Amino acid sequence: MKIEFIIPTYERTNHLTTLIGSLMSQTNPNWTAHIIADCPDQKFVTKINNIVKFFDDERIILTMLNKRYNDWGHTPRNIGLDSAVEDWVIMTGEDNYYVPTFVEEFLIAAKNPITQFIYCNMLHNLTNNSYLPIKTKIELGWIDIGCAAYMRRCIGDLRLDPTYPESDHTFISRYLINLTEHFMPITKIDKVLYVHN
């Protein structure tokens, strides 16, 4: 069982390096990272290729889009969902990162055969590197798409709406409605395992 991280990116290589570094530091190695670059310019192409070469890990997959979408990362995430292969999927941002036990804790929770949605608490960077711990709730403003894992086979045809900034939360809501209809439980890990910037 593995977790696949879907990571849209544009031109923030410093953040992306921190995120990939946090994945490389995971105590459980059962993850893959699909980085989807939103039509970067040549300078960024060089930088991102250097990042991938630096980490030199077959778990890191890179896709360069030849069209710029500039839609909060929603279309790149949808492209990632269309090509996802692992059991569990997490859609995150290039500027977020994960504590070293994130994958381990999530995959322990995923061992429950009827669990279809897992999420954790997070630190949220408000401004000027002032971080606030948040006890996440499944409500707009209280959860981020990057602290939640979705079972790939339960996603179906759900996709993010590229015209709506908060489509990531809509995705969570629609996914959970689908699960509720099938009486599938959700699991919350009551620990801060994710940093949202």
Query: What pLDDT digit, counting tens, does each position of 79-126 carry?
Result: 999 999 999 999 999 999 999 999 999 999 999 888 889 999 999 887
Give 45 or 6, the one with higher predicted confidence.
6
For residues 162 and 167, give the distance between their C-alpha atoms in angstroms, rounded to a whole number.
7
Residue 152 near residue 82 (C-beta atoms within 8 A): no
pTM of the model: 0.93
Residue 8 near residue 36 (C-beta atoms within 8 A): yes
Cα dihedral angle (27, 31, 32, 37), rounded to 10 degrees? -70
Question: What is the SS3 assignment for 163?
Answer: coil
Give 130 or 74, the one with higher predicted confidence.
74
For residues 149 and 106, give the distance between their C-alpha atoms in angstroms, rounded to a whole number.
8
Full set of structural domains in the chain with CATH: 3-196 (3.90.550.10)
